[in-house]
Chain A
Amino acid sequence: MSEHLRPKDISKKTDRLVHVDPAKFPKLPYPYEDWEDPPIPELSDAKKAERDVSLDGVSNLVVPMPKTEAEKEEIVAKFLVGLRKLFSKENNWTFLKPLMLSMDNCVKCNTCAEACPIFQESGRVAAYRPLFRSEVLRRIVKKHLTPGGKLTAKFTGNDIDVNWETVSRLAQLAYRCTLCRRCAQTCPMGVDNGLLSREIRKLFSQELGLSPAELHGDGTIKQLETGSSTGLSPVALMDLIEFAEEDITDRTGLNIKIPFDKSGADILLIHNAGEFLSWPENLEAFAILFEIAGLSWTLSSEMVGYDSVNYGLFYDDAQYARVTLKHAEVARKLGVKKVVVGECGHAHKALMAIGDRVWLAESNVPRESCMATMEDLIVNEKVMVNPERNDFPVTTHDPCNMTRSMGIIEPQRRILRKICPQFREMTPHGVHNYCCGGGSGFAIMQSHNFPEWKMAISGRRKFAQILEAFTKDELKPSVHKYVCAPCSNCKGQIRDIITHFDAWERCGMLYGGLVELIVNCMTDVREGFIEWEDFH
């Protein structure tokens, strides 16, 4: 298939609709101009036999191969039933208005394509155009859900064939978008292709039970059953906290008891549980900062209350609401004055923006970004800092959910400008940032050949931006530099990018959160909180 794929081509019975060709990827900047990307690995024949990969050969959403024609027809019929539900007030009141508006009003100008890092960095793979995915959905809806749609299909361009290939590839296409909404920002009409991707994901999850294992079975289901999407139980959590307290003493000489389940505390702090397992220094830094500042705060050991993750945000309204209501219940029972959301972008959006319409009545405990909490402590000098301890090149990543979807831009910058003498911005930044490439659940999808696709394509622009934030001299491995990623999922993605491109060895590049930088320069804390040689 050529670069100029028509929406109706999605129904073609071919082994592979589009090919990802590393030779077409844009070149990376210094010192990676000569970087050669390997081809995205092919799945084994056994894997290909059990799932459909006829979109692009990549697998993150597993669409099982039907065994008979009747099975195929059944899936198509179910899809069309789900599509009707997607446009009904009873079943989709949550997003019906934005959905209708984005469906009805695209003028097909393709402005979105130039804003989309996945389309651009893939070497302009036609199926990755935001417009391609939206037009497939739009044309199916117009043909099947609009009166007279089939009669006028040729004239209106809605002559798309809804067969099993169409349905399967559309489901997979919804997972070639990080929901970063950069395309929506540039759309002159205000159409939101990110929203449409999410609505497609939702249809497949809520009607056909089709969603990536990392988001559903190993995500929201596990979180609701065990307390955390990481599988971390309340008992195991207490062990980790004990370790964290010991580690604080080792690193800083401070003896800090991390408060749990303190009824009536001012603040309930909720972390992404990924921090407990992968980056304990983040939760340790929060504990140090809040204790030295004398805040009244607590963590929760209640089921779900210690994990701010809510992957329902990315694919399923029911699962989203179930998780966020657990969070609300924990906050209400503790009687805290407010919930402070730790360094996690999607948790910010789940708890504060979308949650705004779900936390009702007595459960509507106010929620605040940790960026605002920390800004108050640093800018108003409630804790003392020595910026000289952070005298190394620092740049920061803007998590899409926190910035583009919530407008939390400046608090983190006012902190960084105060504590990091060598802070510099990426281009573009703030509300116009690029996604880390791990958005919408990509960061935790580590199976099959998706990690290779993710590193080569969805994370490529972010890596280029990071490199461009530093001078050639600064990019020498002997100069330690810090990429601040105040979001757990973004941090995981940036860790994977640095590892993939070997940027710690080649460029001396470390990554971490914002609170670690704060604690690293607090005068009440022993020097050296950030351990440069401990890349993990």
Chain B
Amino acid sequence: MLAVQLVTYISVVVAVVAMLVKVYRYATAPEHMRWELYPVPHEKGRADYGGSYLEELDWWSKPRHSDMVNEMKEMAAEIILLKGVFHHNRRVWRSSFPFHFGLYLCIGWLVLLLLGAVLQAFGIDVGATAGGLGRGIHYVTMALGYAGLILGGLGALGLFFWRMSDENQRPFNSPMEYFNLIFFVIVAVVTVLASALADPSFASLRAYVQAVVTFSTAPAIPAPVAAEVILLSLLILYIPLTRMSHFVAKYFLYHAVRWNDEPNVRGSKIEKRIAELLNQKVGWSGAHIQTGQTWGEVIKEPKK
């Protein structure tokens, strides 16, 4: 079991590091020019038609009213229901929604497996005959696990067939696109079958997770469950290395760019950051650019 456990540890560490690198890269990118796109949902009283505070007379002299509740609602609809795909690409939504919703259920399943494992480590029983909390976690874990895996697997299969059959789509597909989806399908099928045959209540899997989180040797688990664990571990490792981890970037795409309408006022932090960036040297070689001078110098006067 040590080898299987090692695969899990490596996968989790690589996944976390890859995810952090991605976040760091986006979070430390320099202050950029404003590039928002309307509708911006936090524009109070204006979001429904796509308006902004720039509609106002002397807008800089008036308080700005942000509607964060509406922004949260918009985000929730986008994350949970894939609102954008629903409105603009219904064919994809029919597969993409079950796929993503299935993944959310699977995340819930993994969280509950982890919670159950921690409870067990503290001596609290988790199972069909356990007390209220343990029994609840037992049944909800089963419900989320099977529903999530089946829904996610079917969604991935639907996306696979859509990519294969849509003639507009085919020129843009790479072998990786097909592999990613098939990998999901295989993981879902193996996990559902292995669990149904050898570990229907995920008790063995929970015991394995307990060993992983307590850094102890895992008890022997049935071979199908071991296969399932290896596949799940590899999936966890693989996702952050591909653009399937777009959930990380989506935060930045929306909040840092698309909905970022923060105005620069005199003496602001934005102004300070821009002033610093203008001190950087310009390396562009176009004939109209004074290569080697700072941005501040280059934009002050055209090249003679």
Which positions in A face B, CB cutoff 8 Å? 4-7, 78, 81-82, 85, 88-91, 93-98, 100-102, 104-111, 113-115, 126, 131, 135, 154-158, 181, 184-192, 195, 205-209, 216, 221, 224-225, 316, 318-319, 321-322, 325, 338, 352-354, 356-362, 364, 366, 368-369, 371-373, 375-376, 403-411, 430-432
B residues less than 8 Å from A135 (CB atoms)? 172
A369 CA / B59 CA spacing, docked (Å): 10
Closest to A206 in B: B284
Contact A430–B50 (Cβ < 8 Å): yes
Within 8 Å CB of A95, what residues of B?
32-33, 35
| Stretch of B13-21, B144-152, B204-212, B253-261 lying at the A interface | B253-261
Please state if B253 and A191 are interface contacts (CB–CB under 8 Å).
yes
In the complex, chain B residues whose CB is within 8 Å of the CB of A85? 283-284
Asked if A105 and B168 sit within 8 Å, CB to CB, the answer is no
- Comparing B106-114, B115-123, B190-198, B268-276, the segment that makes contact with chain A is B268-276
Return the contact of B253 from the options A189, A364, A372 (Cβ within 8 A): A189
Decide: B168 and A4 in contact? CB cutoff 8 A: yes
Determine whether B85 belongs to the interface, using a CB cutoff of 8 Å to chain A: yes
Docked complex Cα distance between A216 and B287 (Å): 12
Report A-chain residues with C-beta under 8 Å of the C-beta of B37.
181, 184-185, 192, 404-405
Determine how close the nearest CB of chain A comes to the CB of B10; give it in whole angstroms. 19
Query: Are B277 and A431 neighbours in the complex by a CB distance under 8 Å?
Result: no
Q: In whole angstroms, what is the CA distance A431 to B51 when docked? A: 8
User: Taking A91-B282, A406-B38 as contacts, is the C-beta distance between A357 and B31 under 8 angstroms?
Assistant: yes
Among B262-290, those with CB < 8 Å from A are: 263-266, 270-271, 274-275, 277, 280-289
Nearest A residue to B32 via CB reads A97
State whether B33 touches A94 (Cβ < 8 A): yes
- Complex Cα distance A209/B288, Å? 8
Contact B39 A318 (CB under 8 A): no
With contacts A111-B88, A185-B37 known, is A209 near B287, CB below 8 A? Answer: yes
Q: Is the CB of B51 within 8 A of A107?
A: no
Q: Mark B1-33, 1 if CB is under 8 A from A, else 0.
A: 000000000000000000000000110011111
Flag if A431 contacts B264 (CB, 8 Å): no
Q: Write out, one digit per residue, whether chain B residues 56-88 have a CB within 8 A of any chain A CB (1) or not (0).
A: 111110000000000000000010001011011
Residues of B within 8 A of A104 (CB): 243, 246, 249
A185, A216, A408: the one contacting B52 at CB < 8 Å is: A408
A209 to B287, CA, bound (A): 6
Which candidate, B134-142, B230-238, B296-304, is the interface stretch facing chain A?
B296-304
Q: Are B177 and A157 in contact (CB under 8 A)?
A: yes
Interchain residue pairs with CB less than 8 A apart (11)? A6-B171, A98-B35, A110-B168, A111-B89, A188-B84, A192-B37, A195-B35, A207-B285, A366-B60, A405-B38, A431-B38
Closest to B89 in A: A111
**Option from A190, A359, A366, A409 in Cβ contact (under 8 Å) with B49:** A409
Chain B residues, Cβ within 8 Å of A105: 243, 246, 249-250, 253
Closest 10 CB pairs of A and B: A157-B174, A407-B52, A431-B50, A190-B253, A321-B299, A93-B30, A97-B29, A188-B84, A407-B38, A206-B284
Given contacts A318-B298, A404-B37, A431-B39, 14 further A-B contacts (CB under 8 A): A6-B171, A85-B283, A93-B277, A101-B252, A105-B243, A111-B92, A114-B89, A157-B176, A322-B302, A325-B299, A360-B274, A408-B52, A431-B49, A431-B51
Q: With A105-B246, A156-B176 in contact, do A357 and B270 touch (Cβ < 8 Å)?
A: yes
Within 8 A of A (CB), among B120-165: none
Contact (Cβ within 8 A) B60 A357: no
Closest B residue to A154 by beta carbon equals B175
Partner of B170, one of A4, A338, A361: A4
A74, chain B: closest CB distance, angstroms = 12
| A407 B46 Cβ-Cβ under 8 A | yes
The answer on a CB contact under 8 Å between B88 and A188 is yes
Residues of B contacting A94 in the complex (Cβ-Cβ under 8 angstroms): 32-33
User: In whole Å, how far is A270's beta carbon from the nearest beta carbon of chain B?
Assistant: 16
Q: Min CB distance, A71 to chain B, in Å?
A: 17
B280 proximity list for chain A (CB < 8 A): 89-90, 93
Q: How far is the CB of A253 from chain B (nearest CB, A)?
A: 30
B32 and A361 form a contact (CB under 8 A):
no
A192 near B35 with CB under 8 A, answer yes
- Chain B positions within 8 Å of A373 at CB level: 57
Which residues of A lie under 8 Å from residue B54 when comparing CB positions?
352-353, 369, 372, 406-408
- Cα A96 to Cα B258 in complex, Å, equals 14
Given contacts A4-B168, A111-B89, A131-B172, contact A368 B59 (CB under 8 A): yes
Contact, CB under 8 Å: A361 / B266: yes
- What is the CA–CA distance of A322 and B263 in the complex, to the nearest angstrom? 21
- Residues in B with CB closer than 8 Å to A93 are 30-32, 277, 280, 295
Query: Provided the pairs A192-B37, A375-B57 are in contact, do residues A90 and B281 lie with their beta carbons within 8 angstroms?
Result: yes
Contact B299 A207 (CB under 8 A): no
Are B59 and A356 in touch, CB under 8 angstroms? no
Provide the residues of chain A in CB contact with B60, threshold 8 Å: 366
Q: Which of B37, B252, B287 has the largest number of chain A CB atoms within 10 A? A: B37
